Amino acid sequence: MQPVSTKAIIFLPVIALAVFMQSCSTSSAHEEKKEAAAPAEAPALEAFSLQKGQLSSTIDIPGELVAFQRVDLYAKVSSFVKKLYVDVGSEVKTGQLLVTMEAPELNSQLSGAESRLKSQEAIYLSSKATYDRLLETSKTPGTVSQNDLDIAFAKQKSDLAQLDAAKAGYREIGDNRNYLEIRAPFNGVISRRNVSAGAYVGPAGKGSDLPIFTLQEQKKLRLIVAVPEAYTGYLQDNSEVDFTVNAIPDQTFKAKVTRLAGALDERLRAQNIEMDVTNDDKRLLPGMIASVSIALTGGSDKGFVVPAKAVLNSTQGIYVIKVVNNHAVWVPVKVGRKVDDKAEIFGDLALNDVIVKTATEEIRDSAELKHVALAAAVK
């Protein structure tokens, strides 16, 4: 037997180690191929059970403060301003005298009307006395004909009518004289004066284009807001609103909706609403622009509230994806209000319908849905 060489003894373990490592490497690569070949499990599709709900939101829109009562005071008859008793900023009470005017021709007209009245009164008294005497005489048969009696009675009636006309003419001129005084129709403040003493005023002519005074009620104001058509369905009487004005930025005022116009403005397509504002301290002024915050808490009871991502805006329309027998069904809907990450929808839906939480066009209509995870209902 030939002796084994030293080199062979050294290389035998090395060869065995190489064979072992080759075997391990082949096994690891085989396992990796198996893992790569196995398909990854698709994540579950999130869905939720549809429930009724209403969104509470607010809109911020501008409004205008106006006087609760406002009137421009004009002269009724042609005249000249005799004396002004108030000026801009004057606070007045109901019935207070504001201005007196003079029209000398009215005094002459009144004197003439008074003379005609007295003359007609005398004529009537004469005809009445004549008729009364004839009537008394006619009681003796054959003294007065019936025709004369009828004529006297007709003359009395005619003179009475003329007397009534004279009285009416006299009252008319007297009433016109009363228009030479203008009194305050309600409590308020004089916000504008356009004439001075001696100015000509009247229903026509120079000086009459502008009112003598503008009177506005200041302790009670109207807040007028034009609400866009999209929000009119959520308005309610007695709803409370908050508003601020630029002149007093550190204070928030409150008011309640008291009047709804009930129709849309043809130009703005908005509904005017009014709120009464008590202004005893007179900090608010007519004409101020207010920033109004209106709470929208009403609306239809047929709506559902869903996550905004559940609404799919596709080229074909607006849909939500309903899960029916593990299949996707695209249901067309209309979207109402949106608040934060929620939306109000209306469509052919029912309570407890299962809706996909995140709708995408990748989920095709009628597609099979294998893994659907039902989450908590949206509130």
Residue-wise pLDDT tens digits, 149-166? 899 999 999 999 999 999
- State pLDDT tens for residues 279-326: 999 999 999 999 999 887 655 566 788 999 999 998 889 999 999 988
Domains of the chain, by residue range, sit at 71-100+181-213, 104-179, 218-296, 303-374
Q: Is CATH 3.40.630.30 the right assignment for the domain spanning 303-374? A: no
The rounded percent of the chain whose pLDDT value lies above 70 is 84
Distance CA 289, CA 225 (A): 10
The CATH class for the domain spanning 218-296 reads mainly beta
Which of 19-28, 135-144, 199-208, 249-258 shows the highest mean pLDDT? 249-258
* Interval 348-378: pLDDT, tens: 888 889 999 999 988 898 888 888 888 766 6
Name the β-bridge partners of 345: 304, 335
Query: What's residue 302's pLDDT?
Result: 67
Residue 205 has pLDDT above 70, yes or no: no
How large is the average pLDDT for residues 222-234? 87
Residue 79's CB is within 10 A of a number of other CB atoms, namely 22
Q: With beta carbons less than 8 A apart as the criterion, state whether 347 and 331 touch.
A: yes
- The distance of Cα 289 from the centroid of its chain, to the nearest Å, equals 15
Write down the pTM of the prediction: 0.62
pLDDT one-digit tens code per residue, 181-204: 999 999 999 999 999 999 888 876
Q: Which of 177, 187, 182, 179 is nearest to 212 (CA)?
A: 182
**CATH classification number, 104-179, choose in 2.60.120, 1.20.1070, 2.60.40, 1.10.287:** 1.10.287
Q: What is the rounded distance in angstroms from the CA atom of residue 324 to the CA atom of residue 327?
A: 5
Q: Which two tokens stand for residue 169?
A: 């003419």
What is the structure's pLDDT at 11?
Answer: 44
Burial (CB count <10 Å: 0-12, 13-18, 19+), residue 266: exposed
Mean pLDDT of the chain: 83
Confidence tier at 10 by pLDDT (50, 70, 90): very low
Domain 71-100+181-213 and domain 303-374 have a common topology: no
- What CATH number labels 71-100+181-213? 2.40.50.100
